Amino acid sequence: MSITRYGAEGGVGTGGQKLPFSRAVEAGGWLKVSGQTPMTDGEVVEGGIVEQTRLAFDNALGIAREAGYSVEDVVHVTAVLTDARYFSSFNKVFAEIFRDHPPARICSVQDLVVDCKVEVDLTCYRADRA
């Protein structure tokens, strides 16, 4: 089994810092996408939880698509919200994104190292790539 690292050269975080991890790693049909925040060009995009959730998922799913996976291949999501009051709005966006293919999920409330409202990661699986 081989391991493929996507974006191992490191992305750019807030303030232009070079990030020391892969954007995603694939092995045995599994793809793990690192946590994504509502950032564009290394800067957090302002907005409420709905806008920030959409962008965080757009970023994560964009990485998955680059690796050859689709929204239907997502089997698990980890979500971190910075305020429990965001839960209902987050769920509405989540349902819009995954529609008839809802993955398993964990959602917690905690502080984030980036000044935003949400971070999400994805685990995807494709049997034809195992």
Helix (H, G, I), strand (E, B) or coil at 15: helix
Would you state the pLDDT for residue 10? 65
Mean pLDDT of 89-106: 98
State the amino acid at position 114 in one-letter form.
V
Q: How confident is the model at residue 48 (pLDDT cuts 50, 70, 90)?
A: very high
Segment 13-33, tens digit of pLDDT: 666 777 778 899 999 999 999
Domain CATH for 124:
3.30.1330.40
Which residues, in sequence order, are CB contacts of 69 under 8 Å at separation 6+? Answer: 31, 124, 126
Segment 51-63, tens digit of pLDDT: 999 999 999 999 9
Q: Is the pTM of this model over 0.75?
A: yes
State the amino acid at position 4 in one-letter form.
T
**Domain containing residue 109:** 3-129
Would you state the pLDDT for residue 18? 76
Mean pLDDT of 111-115: 93
Query: Phi and psi (nearest 5°) for 92?
Result: -60, -45
Q: How many domains is the chain built from?
A: 1
